[in-house]
Amino acid sequence: MKHHGDVSRNHDTRNNAPKVIILGAGFAGIRAARSLAHTSAKVTLIDRNNYHLFQPLLYQIAMAGLSPAQIAIPIRSVLRGISNVEVLLGDVTGVDLSQRQW
Ligand SMILES: Cc1cc2nc3c(=O)[nH]c(=O)nc-3n(C[C@H](O)[C@H](O)[C@H](O)COP(=O)(O)OP(=O)(O)OC[C@H]3O[C@@H](n4cnc5c(N)ncnc54)[C@H](O)[C@@H]3O)c2cc1C
């Protein structure tokens, strides 16, 4: 699934809330989204997968100590209850900084 977005207006015109786009729901993206939780920012988090992969435990999958589902957590469940963060599934192919589009 492909998405195209526009942050040309980086503030919500109704309440002047800043719009923040986070690319990737790895450790960094999840941390960023959580740090903006319950602020006035309107946050969109985009990942090509619908899950957050806990990479440090990948070896446990290789040795059959854990099942894949135990280290691949749905992003929406990680961020459940955070109403100002929207999660989108999409493969980002580029960011046009001059046009403020992704
Ligand atoms: C086997 C293994 C063991 C590790 N053990 C440790 C450890 O013990 N301690 C430690 O501190 N670190 C460990 N690390 C490193 C740690 O996992 C990484 O440093 C960390 O995951 C990096 O986080 P990140 O958010 O920068 O990137 P990532 O976690 O890689 O997240 C990037 C996200 O962006 C998404 N994405 C990428 N490109 C696109 C695109 N074009 N469009 C849409 N989505 C995209 C990906 O799907 C992914 O969800 C380990 C790594 C591995 C592989």
pTM: 0.88
12 pLDDT above the threshold of 90: no
Q: Whose CA is nearest to atom 27 of ligand 1?
A: 26
pLDDT at residue number 32: 98
For residue 6, the CA-to-ligand 1 centroid distance in Å is: 26
pLDDT at residue number 84: 97
CATH 3.60.70.12 assigned to domain 11-89? The reply is: no
CA dist., res. 14 & res. 74, Å (int):
31
15 pLDDT above the threshold of 70: no
Structure-block tokens of residue 26 = 């790895």
Residue 24 — left, alpha, or beta (φ > 0 → left; ψ -120 to 50 → alpha)? Answer: left
Q: Whose CA is nearest to atom 9 of ligand 1?
A: 56
